Structure 1
Amino acid sequence: MVGFIVNEICSPLLYITLRGQAFPKAVIQSKMLKANIYMVENVLENMAKVDNIKDFRRYFISFLYNEVLIYHFNEGCESRNINEQIGRDLGYGIAV
């Protein structure tokens, strides 16, 4: 798994194709560098539930890319929600 991630980070290609869509190499590198062991474990657990994976490496990288996106999106939602709750509790207006 680590080899798959390192290959994506060190790829000589300018664009990397995931899910049929070309992404700039810098975008993929950024997401792969943000991945942690818990994300990889979650990806592997979910992949174990899927049958007939044709290209394990590509599927793993795509799934991990999505996992990193979802994790950071949810993390941002939690902090925004906390800020809104604090603002409501203290009577501050929240600028949207």
Structure 2
Amino acid sequence: MTTLNGRPGNTPRPQTPPACLDSAAGTTRQKSKATDTSRITKAGYSVPEFCYGAGIGRSKAYELMTAGLIRFVTVGRRRIITDSPADFLGRLAGNGEG
């Protein structure tokens, strides 16, 4: 096994979507007449879902949560991010930060 620079070691792994996003995209379900999922909006994101959507790492996400730049709620020991990745990135672009 070689790395990008030709030296032996672990090769870098590509970023993959969280399992919950992976399984939803791979299955095809028929819509029932009782529920129309196109109108359902996601109220909160797990940390891996948010990181994948925003294109940032987990450590950076926790840093930004501590700094108050990402809105979240704590349920037990779990953090549920209430911002969508698009809203977060739009807010950063509006502030001129990056």
Higher relative contact order (CA 8 A, sep 6+): 1
Under a length normalisation based on structure 2, what TM-score does the superposition of the two structures give? Answer: 0.31
Which structure features the higher share of helix residues? 1
Under a length normalisation based on structure 1, what TM-score does the superposition of the two structures give? Answer: 0.31
